[in-house]
Structure formats: C-alpha cells, structure tokens
Chains A and B, each alone.
Chain A
Amino acid sequence: MILKDLSEAIGVSGDEGDVRAIILDAIRDHVDEVRVDNMGNVLALKRGTGDQGLRVMLAAHMDEVGLMVIGHDNDGLLRFRPVGGLDPRVLPGTPLKVGDERLPGVIGIKPIHLARDEERKKAPRIKELAVDIGAKDKKEAARLAPLGTYIAFATPFRDLGPTVSGKAFDDRAGCAALVELLRGDPFPFDLHAAFTVQEEVGLRGARVAAYTIEPDCAFVLEGTIADDLPRDKDTSPTTELGHGPAITLMDRTFIADRRLVQLLTSTADELHIPYQFKQPGVGGTDAGSIHLTRAGVPSATVAVPCRYIHSPVSLLSRDDFDNLLTLMRESLARLTPRTLGRN
C-alpha cells in the first residue's frame, strides 16, 4: 500500500520534498508529462482517450501539519510554533522527528506525580510546551535545530486489519488515491493531477496549480474529519468511519458544484457504492482556492473519513479508501461536457 510510504514520509507545509520524491517515483511511468512548478506542486498530465474534450483537475495536498523551531532555552529545550492547525491537547508526550537529520525528539510534560490539581484539569498552551532533543544547552540546541527547523510527528504506519493507522492521512490518503487513479487506465479526457503544497497554511499551492492547469472542473481528494464517537444528543457527526467516501456539499471555503455532486451521487447510487455527505459548514480544502481561479472552476471535494486528523495519529477504513477509488473512477468515466451543462 503506497499509503504506508506516503504516511511515513515527512512533509510539513513548505517542506514537502520527501513526499514529492515518493510521488514522482510512483507516477512517472504512468503519466505523459510531469513537472514540479515554482511553488513545489507536482503537476502531471495523463492523456485521455480523446473521447471527451474536457480539462479535468484532480488535486490532493502533500503537506501535513507540524511544528517549527522559533527559539532555544538555556537548558537546551526547543521552543516552537505550530505549522497549520494543531490542538495543544494532543502534543505532550508525542514522539517527533526534528529537522532534515530526523533527530528524535519528544514534547515533555511534568510527570503526573508532580502535577498540581489545576494543572491536570487544563490543557497546556503551546507557549508552555517545548521539544526536548536531549541538547545540553542553548548553544547545542541552536546547532542541532536552528531557527526555522521543521519538526514532524514520528508515527509508524500500522495495519490494524480492516483499518490502518498512521500520521498525516490528511492528506496522504488523498495523495495515495490520486496516485492509484494515475496508475490505472486513461480516462475519456485529459486528466491533470496536482499534488499540492501548503494547503494546511492557506490553500496556497492549489491556487497557482489551478491557474496553470486552467481546468473546466476540479475534484479535490482529501482525508477528512471522522468524529463518529459517542455523543450526548441526537446530532450529526461530521463523517463516520466505514460509511463510504464523504462528499462535501459546503464548507467554510466553498460550495460544491451541484452538478458535480449530482454526478458523484448518481454514480454511487447506480453502482451501489456507499457514500455519505460531510456535515455542511465544517472545514475547508484546496477547492476553496481552486474554484476562484481565473474565470471560476466548478469544484467538488471527496474524502476518506479519518479519525483523529491533525493529531500524531489518524485512522481510516480500507473499505472507505477502496470505495473512494471506485467512486472516482466510475464518476470520471461518466463525466462529459454535458455534466457541466446548465438549463
């Protein structure tokens, strides 16, 4: 499963090189053109059979959330800031890899024996946390991990049977799906794939990728929030594990094109592929910048539900992943210029 290699590779926003290398190797023999653009996006063209004169963009982001060194304490600890959205509650006790040398590090916390009652009751603030790489003093810390050094979660990929766990499924799940689509048979139209950078810090790579590609429509492949955990009233989870790929209707950054959503749901209904709608109004993806490109790009987002995203470990269902692939393959096979027609 290429998801294992992609998940274990490190690529915090702005430093996606290792992920990019894996993707380039994985797709090179299956696409007609591939290049890396000025921002670091991988742009690949898989020529179609020529049956449909459409330019279709598929995007998945390579970057993941992480940390960056912003200072050094006298005792050799590293001060940091989050890169992308991180919850300080999940950080203490987390094993990390620091810098290009992948130095092992941890985020420490006072042992429970010493913690005062009030300290146990609240989460620490990020300002109060530090990364320990075992440096003996400030000078050594600054030599090993200078200002601006990236820090990533050090979580191995695990096979749990029907599910798998690992870090950065948001959005290595989307990257893995896009790689698989490129490795398959050609589509009726030219498929333009974009593996984008810097999604987690403002949907940045996708903006220029879409400008370059100038597509007629776009699909974003994601790993999205699954919060199918116990709840105290009869209200909606964002998505649920094992209930099929999640189709976005509306999030904070865009409203999905209704014609593309219709294509996805009618395909799923026809072939009995399970799917769910992501709870509207939550989150945001590269579609938020892609749909605004040039004169506008009708866009949709389809995601693999992942528990615990933006934490050191996420978990997804193999069936959901496979069903997303089937849904995308079959929907794309049915996509024609008429899909984008209007009354």
Chain B
Amino acid sequence: MRELIRKLVETYGPSGDEEQIRAAIRAEVEPLADEIRVDPLGSLVVHKRGRGGGQRILLDAHMDEIGVMVSYIDEKGFARFTKIGGVFPLNCVGGRVRFADGRLGVIGIESKRDDPGRIPELSELFIDVGATSRDDCPVKVGDPAVFFRPFAVVEAGEHTRYVSKTMDDRIGCAILIETLRRLESTPHDLYLVFSVQEETTLSGARTSAYGIEPDLAIAVDVTGTGDTPESRPMAVKLGHGPAIKVQDRGMIAHPQVRDLLVERAEAAGIPYQMEVLEYGTTNAAAMQLVRAGVPSGCLSVPCRYIHSPSEMVDADDVENSVRLLLEVLTR
C-alpha cells in the first residue's frame, strides 16, 4: 500500500484541476470496477455491484488538494498568488510549489517588513519561478500550483509514520482503493466517490451524492490530533486507531452510521477512537443534506500538521481503516 500512497500524494491535483490525479486513481480502480463515470463537476464515481440484499452505500474520499493560484505577474516576473482552500501563510514561506507541467517555484516574502516577527499576509508573499520579467515568466494568471514535498517514511520503535503533503485526503483515496482491492464480496451496492473541490466548497461530494442517491454515506478523510506539544485539547492520538466521527464544525454524524462503525470495530477487535473535531469539517456535512437527507458519517484518519507540506499519519491507523471499512461492507 506504501507505493500506492506515494503515487497518490505525489500526484498534482489542486481543487478545480483534478485531471492528473483523476487519471492516476482511474488507472488503479479500472480493473476492479463494474462501472466507472466522471460526474459533471469532475468527480470519479466507481460502482461495484453487490450480490443483493444490502444497501446503496457511498464511500467518499476527496482527490483535490489545497494549493495556490497565480493572480498577477509583476514587472520583474514574480508571481503574486491567492490560496486554493485553507492555506496558512505560516506554512508557505520558503516552501516550494509545483505547477501542472511540473515546473517548480519558490515562495518568497517581502523582506522590507515593518515587523519581521509578524505572521505575513498571503499578499506579502510571491512565487519566484526564476523569471526576470513579465515577458519571460513561464507561468500566467490563473495557473494553479500545489505544495511540493516528496513522500517520506519515518520509523521510531514499533511505529511507522507516513509523511507528505496532501495526506489530506490522498490517504482517504488510498484507503478506498485498497478496500476495493481486498473486497471479495458484498451484499451492498457500492459507490466509491473520488470527489473534486472539497477544500474550497465541498462541491464534488455534494453533487455526486445527489446523482447516486445513497442510503448511507461515509466520508473517509483526515482529522486533527491532540497529541503534540501544547496542542489544542482533542482526544484523538496518532496510532490509536481510526477515528469515528461524532461531530465537527459542519455536521453531527448520524447515530446509526456512527454506531455501525463502532459495532463492527468492536466485533472485529479493531482499535478505534471517537472523534469530536472543533474546527473544520468534511464532505459528510454536504452529503447529509442532499435531496431528502442522507444518513452520513466519517471514518477519519488521525493526521498531524494538516494543511502543512508535512502531514503525518500512522501506518497502523491506515491499515485499520481499511479493515474497518471491509467489516462494514462484507455484511
């Protein structure tokens, strides 16, 4: 699974420009699907027919990632930019971004600042692609770029952690793909949605859920942890199992979905934790409001340093997420 994760996190796919990551995911799922389609906004929908007697289940993971978009090229060839999704200036300075064609840029900061200790505004930052003028600048207004940081594995004691940009939510994509690979038979009519534009407006999952009209929906996404020095209090720890959402800023998980996940984890002896997230939300918030309402919940992968170029997840949590989804699907 490690190679799959590497491939997914290193593929380019900011919100609104998901073509490359969609192609990468499509190549993985094509041999396993009964039917594949791309929805009007660009989400990839993978249908796996059940043997009958089950429900219509939607599993979502968003394939888009946060990034930046060039908003202006100045006379000297430096690119000003705006954010795509939740980009924090603190994580930008000195970082590198990569454009759709593979071109790299470095994020610089206006050094003539009155208070160098202050966290900068995005408007004080710029991308340097090595150009010297507006005319020789190879990027143009509207070009998106993503943060650049290769995949890495860190190991300490018994723990293996995966580190990269865009664990949010390529780790969810990897979990769905691996689940599909291992799934032998299910009574349920299964729809895997690799959705677009989560980081900006939750648009992809909402519209795909409308088209699928599921009986039950589960978003597989990352969640924060409360286990780093002086972190905001939160009862989720890296390596303590997948987190089952109770609520977040945008939704209260449907009790039946929440309890289903808890029961299957208990029965199979899979470690899990309950999640109450104070800030942020997921596609489940949008999916539960579609049509007449969809009972929705989240299976969350604990993740440190979300929306930084070095998001960290635990390998066992990833494996246990796949196991738990299989427990949900096999009966």
Contact = CB atoms under 8 A, between A and B. Distances in A.
B133 interface: no
Nearest to A255: B16
B197 interface: yes
A261 B144 CA distance: 14
B279 to A, nearest CB: 19
A254 B23 contact: no
Among A236, A250, A255, A297: residue with most chain B CB under 10 A = A255
B82 A296 contact: no
Looking at chain B's contact residues, the main secondary structure is mixed
B207 A236 contact: no
A296 B82 CA distance: 25
A263 to B, nearest CB: 15
B80 A235 contact: yes
Contact of A234 (B75, B142, B201): B75
A302 B203 CA distance: 21
Nearest to A342: B38
A217 B329 CA distance: 36
B80 A236 contact: yes
Interface stretch (A158-166, A173-181, A276-284, A310-318): A276-284
Interface residues of B, number: 35
B203 A296 contact: yes
Contacts of A261: 142
Nearest to B64: A255
Interface in A223-282: 234-236, 249-250, 253-258, 261, 277, 279-282
Given A234-B74, A249-B142, A250-B16, A291 B38 contact: no
A281 to B, nearest CB: 3
A295 B208 contact: yes
Contacts of B39: 295-296
A249 B72 contact: no
Given A236-B71, A253-B201, A343-B23, A296 B207 contact: yes
Contacts, number: 88
Contacts of B76: 234
A216 B204 CA distance: 16
Contacts of A334: none
Contacts of B203: 254, 291-292, 296
B201 A297 contact: no
Nearest to B41: A296
Interface in B132-148: 141-142
B132 to A, nearest CB: 14
A218 to B, nearest CB: 11
Interface in B227-284: none
Given A279-B71, A280-B82, A342 B206 contact: no
B72 A236 contact: yes
Interface residues of A, number: 29
B200 to A, nearest CB: 6
A296 B71 contact: no
B287 to A, nearest CB: 12
Nearest to B291: A294
A281 B41 contact: no
A298 interface: yes
B19 A343 contact: yes
A297 B41 CA distance: 7
A161 B70 CA distance: 35
Contacts of B72: 235-236, 279
A84 to B, nearest CB: 21
A254 B206 CA distance: 13
Given A342-B38, A342-B42, A295 B211 contact: yes
B210 interface: yes
B15 A255 contact: yes
Contacts of B210: 294-296
Nearest to B84: A250
Among B38, B40, B206: residue with most chain A CB under 10 A = B40
Contacts of B84: 250, 255
A124 B4 CA distance: 58
Contacts of A279: 71-72, 82
Contact of A296 (B15, B40, B123, B200): B40
Given A236-B72, A281-B69, A295-B210, A258 B17 contact: yes
Nearest to A257: B41
B49 interface: no
Interface in B10-42: 15-17, 19, 23, 38-42
B47 interface: no
Given A234-B75, A250-B69, A342-B42, A296 B23 contact: no
Contacts of A234: 74-76
Nearest to A279: B71
Contacts of A297: 40-41
A252 to B, nearest CB: 9
A136 B35 CA distance: 74
Contacts of B80: 235-236
Nearest to A298: B40
Contacts of B43: 296
B7 interface: no
A291 B203 CA distance: 8
Nearest to B42: A342
5 contacts: A254-B200, A255-B197, A258-B16, A292-B201, A298-B41
Interface of B: 15-17, 19, 23, 38-43, 69-72, 74-76, 80, 82-84, 123, 141-142, 197, 200-201, 203-204, 206-208, 210-211
